[in-house]
């Protein structure tokens, strides 16, 4: 029975392939002109499958696109010896090449819509964190011999946390070079070129979190960091953010930001840790159900985070997830899932199956999806959105050359995707860099960029009324951007 079914599927695929061959491939071409017409029909047929096939550009946008693509061609020529998306973003030369590009400046100015995949405080400026938190008189660093906490862990505490902890102020004063000392602190809580030789980049990435998050114990530091983080992202032309994890106590800060950026807003997707046990995830889901009832306009759903290949799978928590879904139904509320799934190079990673069966609204990363043709088809049919984080995927070792990112296949196959930065503060960049590498490496044009921005609002967790309002605001900003780009000098 199973073999018969597989044969049927193969036959249907072969039949589809034959139909396309009959439509485009001819046994004989009368002349070169006939061949070129057939070739153009084939190209147009493939473009009709692309995720932005329904996007239409105005005349002004077409002129803006013409200029943008001319600049892109110049960028190809400028970066011929070192094409940034083909090299690790942590390399100094790669980042320097991008920083010199007019394309990056255009991406910074472009209205990006929303960020739908970012991990809480990892969106912020960690250099600011060093300049503020590490100068508090009660800031300590762990330099002891024990493996936990991690060497270099920073913590603000009313008194010394214990053996092995030393005041940062004393160490800085005795360093002989204050700027160099602060730079070492910054490097210890972020990823950079010096980490390329690390045998396990995921472990070092996790250690950055472990070393830095004790700095947020002090309210003044936490509030200042959040204020700068939200201000920076709003000024980079992002109007909406969905944080993985809940940021407590930022309501007043958000109101401050909204005075200059009235359209700006944030919401949250609560997270359970894959390294947790059943009881801990069950408690996390129970807390979420209470919040979905009490704060449905702010708290929007659930995710499981941490490295997929070395922690528990979606299936491991299936009882907790199904029980929570059943409890949500009893309480007459919905439990949206936005699950990290397929952030892996292994075809054996099965999290995507469960994300689909559990009716996840969006899938985080989905790198392994390209290895599952049937799942890709289901994702497309069910309009499940893939949250793509290109620079993060490269830095963490999944896609060394971003020209080979599976997002290219998703885009050209018509799957809905959004672009997101994941953990930019720890990886020393801001969201516009993700747009740069995607634009340069994936064959995108202005139509694709426009669709990415629209998708980020359309597929957000906002209520329908909020989405419509956000889209209207974005359209006005986009029209201003297109007018500016249409006059952009090419010399």
Residue numbers annotated as active site: 343, 365
Chain position carrying tokens 């704060």: 295
> What are all long-range contacts of 283-288, with beta carbons under 8 Å and residues at least 24 apart?
285/320, 285/321, 285/323, 285/324, 286/324, 286/327, 288/324, 288/335
Chain position carrying tokens 């002090």: 218
Peptide bond before residue 86 is cis, with ω within 30 degrees of 0: no
Least Cα distance to 485 among 104, 61, 101, 72 occurs for: 61
* Relative orientation angle of helices 59-78 and 102-109, to the nearest 10 degrees: 140
> What are all long-range contacts of 475-481, with beta carbons under 8 Å and residues at least 24 apart?
477/111, 477/237, 477/239, 478/111, 478/450, 478/453, 479/60, 481/109, 481/110, 481/111
Compute the distance between CA of residue 68 and CA of residue 101 in angstroms, rounded to an integer: 12
Query: In Å, what is the CA distance from 64 to each residue of 47, 54, 86, 198, 488?
Result: 20, 18, 26, 43, 8
Query: What's the N-to-C CA distance of the chain in angstroms?
Result: 66
Compute the distance between CA of residue 202 and CA of residue 220 in angstroms, rounded to an integer: 30
Q: Which secondary-structure segment (H or E) carries 363?
A: strand 362-365
Q: Which residues pair with 363 in a beta bridge?
A: 339, 386
Whether 286 contacts 324, CB under 8 Å: yes
Cα atoms found within 13 Å of the Cα of residue 137, Cβ hemisphere only: 1
Secondary structure (3-state) at 463: coil
Cα-flanking dihedrals φ and ψ of residue 72, to 5°?
A: -65, -40
Helices and strands counted in the chain (H then E): 20, 11
Assigned token pair, 456: 């980020």
Phi-psi category of residue 239: left, alpha or beta, with phi > 0 → left and psi -120 to 50 → alpha: alpha
Least Cα distance to 366 among 378, 351, 377 occurs for: 351
Assigned token pair, 2: 């199973």
């Amino acid at each position: 029975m199973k073999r018969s079914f597989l044969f049927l599927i193969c036959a249907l695929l072969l039949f589809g392939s034959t139909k396309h061959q009959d439509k485009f491939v001819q046994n004989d071409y009368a002349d070169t002109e006939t061949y070129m017409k057939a070739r153009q029909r084939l190209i147009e047929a493939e473009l009709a499958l692309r995720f932005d096939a329904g996007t239409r550009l105005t005349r002004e946008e077409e002129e803006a696109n013409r200029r943008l693509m001319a600049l892109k061609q110049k960028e190809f020529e400028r970066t011929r010896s070192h094409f940034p998306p083909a090299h690790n973003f942590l390399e100094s030369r790669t980042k320097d090449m991008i920083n010199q590009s007019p394309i990056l400046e255009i991406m910074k100015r472009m209205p990006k819509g929303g960020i739908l995949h970012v991990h809480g405080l990892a969106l912020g400026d960690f250099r600011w964190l060093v300049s503020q938190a590490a100068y508090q008189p009660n800031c300590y660093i762990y330099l002891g011999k024990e493996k936990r906490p991690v060497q270099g862990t920073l913590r603000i505490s009313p008194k010394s946390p214990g053996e092995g902890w030393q005041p940062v102020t004393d160490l800085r004063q005795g360093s002989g070079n204050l700027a160099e000392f602060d730079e070492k602190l910054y490097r210890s809580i972020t990823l950079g070129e010096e980490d390329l030789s690390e045998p396990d980049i995921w472990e070092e990435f996790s250690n950055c979190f472990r070393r830095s998050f004790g700095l947020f114990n002090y309210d003044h530091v936490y509030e200042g960091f959040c204020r700068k983080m939200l201000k920076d992202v709003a000024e980079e032309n992002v109007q909406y953010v969905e944080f993985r994890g809940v940021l407590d106590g930022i309501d007043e800060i958000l109101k401050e930001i909204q005075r200059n950026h009235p359209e700006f807003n944030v919401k949250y997707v609560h997270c359970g840790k894959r390294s947790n046990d059943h009881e801990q995830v069950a408690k996390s889901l129970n807390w979420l159900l209470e919040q979905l009832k009490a704060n449905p306009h702010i708290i929007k759903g659930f995710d499981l985070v941490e490295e997929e290949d070395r922690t528990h799978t979606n299936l491991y928590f299936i009882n907790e997830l199904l029980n929570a879904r059943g409890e949500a139904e009893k309480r007459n509320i919905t439990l949206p899932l936005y699950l990290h799934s397929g952030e892996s190079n292994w075809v054996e990673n099965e999290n995507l199956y469960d994300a689909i069966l559990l009716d996840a609204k969006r899938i985080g990363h989905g790198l392994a999806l390209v290895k599952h043709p049937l799942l890709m088809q289901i994702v497309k049919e069910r309009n499940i959105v893939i949250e793509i984080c290109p620079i993060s995927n490269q830095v963490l070792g999944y896609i060394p050359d971003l020209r080979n990112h599976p997002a290219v296949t998703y885009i050209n196959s018509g799957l809905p995707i959004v672009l997101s930065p994941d953990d930019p503060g720890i990886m020393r960049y801001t969201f516009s860099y993700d747009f740069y590498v995607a634009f340069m490496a994936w064959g995108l044009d202005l139509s694709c960029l426009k669709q990415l921005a629209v998708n980020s609002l359309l597929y957000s967790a906002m209520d329908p009324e909020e989405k419509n309002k956000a889209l209207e605001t974005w359209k006005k900003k986009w029209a201003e951007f297109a007018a500016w780009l249409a006059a952009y000098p090419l010399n």
